Structure 1
Amino acid sequence: MSLHVDAGAALAIDGGPPVRSAEAPWPRWPVAAPGAEDMLRQVLHSRQWAITSPHEGELFERRFAEMFAGYLGARHCVPTDHGSSALVIALESLGLSEGDAVLVPALTWVATATAVLRAGLLPVLADIDPRTGSMAAGALSEHPDIRAVVVVHWACGMADVPAIDAVAAPRGIAVIEDAAQAHGARWAGRAAGTLGRLGCFSMQHSKVLTCGEGGAVVTGDEVLAGQLEELRADSRRYRGRTPVGELPLAETATTMGANFCLSEFGAALLCAQLPLLDAQHVVRNRNYELLRQLLASVAGVRLLDRPPEQDALSLYEVPIIFDPLPAGSGNTWAAAALTAEISMRAYPPRAPLHRSPLLQPWKKSTIAGLAGRFAARHRDRVFPHAEYLARHAVLLHHSAFLGAERDMRDLARAVAKVARHAERTAGRD
């Protein structure tokens, strides 16, 4: 597919003309669904603003749980107030012992690891597959003492959970999917979040399915589902038929929980937004494939590999990987250069967790024991594949892919322009 780029044009960051004028708008996020306002109004006047409200009628939280479980093909869904809370209660439901080791990838948002600490467990970092950005099955063999693994589907790709589970299951290791970036992605026809024992989702503002702040855990295990309900609602789970005016939660107390409940306003918004998701996937995925074709002949730049088993994409962030970068410059330069060309924010991934300023458990006195073990466990360890992507990828938010073909052509021309400058002035790492 042809892509015309003026090889001699100066970069916009250096004073040259940009590929795209700042007056040409990009799609904005979030996009309110038709009917969202009406559903929010229903909650406002229902006198049921939370699942702990006296019963007046059907709760949107129950409606969303059924809708999302049906969308994924899961048996059970337990909504939560945040994706981080979903990870915490998923880990707590496994019945592990205090301080047990849990494997997490080094390239992910910090909550994947801090949730492990919040559950009283020890996060152990693993390097990632450089082709996909996600953990691979081989990572488990390096850590004989782990009791669980949190597999993250990163950016717009999926980890090979069946391969990981094939290694984990004989060792009694529970597999949790962190599918916060993968709503609607599928592996050989099965939805992300349903491949492991538990699947965790975030519905935070930037996610493809959002209510501002929210989350959910899905599972096929009925016993775990009941435990999850208690863990997120102060040891209470849903009772059966509830008389008007009575609380819909019964104090079953088979375990001790906390309050991680999703509000009715968030649940109503998710009920409105979920029916839009697949149509948005169609637009984003079509544009992503066009971008892949346009960049196929551009030297020095690439997208993540897509395993053939991943038969449905869910774009959250799209990594553009610049293999050569100018001598003395990193992907912070590439992100700034790309932003200047297209007037849309492009940004580097966050630092891998072993050097993240957000993961410093020794700054929290109540987990001093775990913090000491975490520091000792990771002293002198290196994560070269996570480091490479963190230093060479530039990310684009999924909203950029909700536009038209022209947007992808502008984006491809801008990427090619930056890549050609990088090749001409390249340093090597």
Structure 2
Amino acid sequence: MSVGEEVESRPRRRASRVIRFALIIGAILLLLFGVPWWTLIVSGNDWPTPVVVIGTIVFAVALAGFPALMFTGHGRGHHDVPAKIADTMLGVVWVLFVWSIAGQILTGVLWAAGVGTPARSRIATVVVALIALVLLLWGYAEAMRVPRIRRIDVTVPRLGAGLDGLRLVLITDTHYGPIDRARWSRGVTAAVNALDPDVVAHTGDIADGEVAQRREQAAPLADIRASLARVYVTGNHEYFSGAQRWVEHMAALGWEALHNRHLVVSRGGDSLVIAGVDDRTAAGSGVPGHHADHEAALEGADPALPILLLAHQPAQIEGAVAHGVDLQISGHTHGGQIWPFHYLVRLDQPALQGLSRHSERTQLYTSRGTGFWGPPFRVFAPSEITLLTLRAAA
């Protein structure tokens, strides 16, 4: 192939990828909106014609408008009004999609039980609508509340006796975004401070939007207190929202931004290395100097000391194992956020939530997240502020 032919083929390959991506997204949206439309509007319900027409128009308009709202809201401009509409639509349609599938199963059961048409379809439709409504109202309340405290004891065999009982508070995935949660942020700060932490860690995804847009919501982070350290690493969403500016802003708020670096905390004559690495998406973000680098993060650290590593994604645990980390703390998964999305999360991540072991030395704690991304709902995946109490070996 000549140079000219090669150059000409690149745009064709890019165009092919764009078309393939668009077709996949289109198919997913047709399923997400189409299954609820079929279950609630058509599917043997025998509703009056005006109901069918109006219902079909509502679903068609939602399907057509959703991509534009999502792109406008979460594109470079981060326009909050379309983002709020698109995010809410996504949450509603996901819940309707999941329970519409269950509704079709219920219809089959009613058919087997001898219930005639259209009664069986209408019964299933009412059940689906009621369950979806209850879950969405409850899920909204769960998403907007200040998270409950989750208390976990973690034994770190290499931890010195002087650090036994160290109180580490983990917050993550605050996702300050289109819905103004400045008051919620102040509540989180109060809850963290009430735990009297030695170390507070934020493992990324601070916000969806630039510092200038989310400054007020993030401001209460400056008031969080810790006797030894406040530390932070980037998440994948920082790389849509000015990662380096968030690193600098967190430093301005008094946090140690562990941008592939570490610090050492000491108490009672014993010490602990606290290291942090950038998110695993950083290398492909185009932000200069950002990439996950465990070697740089641990350069100069005493290998005899125990290591606590901040890394946004549980999937970064392989690097932690390879570098002898004792405990990695992560977020990213949101615990699935809206059931049963956690099955999809597990395809990409080695852990969904909680404490897990990944080598003889290395443990991983995965938080379900302090805030929420996008849809303002949490269904069977409660948020958390985590108090990890580190214990030395007996």
TM-score (norm 1): 0.27
- Structure with greater contact order relative to length (CA < 8 Å, sep ≥ 6): 1
TM-score (norm 2): 0.29
Q: Higher helix share goes to which structure?
A: 2
Which structure: larger Rg? 2
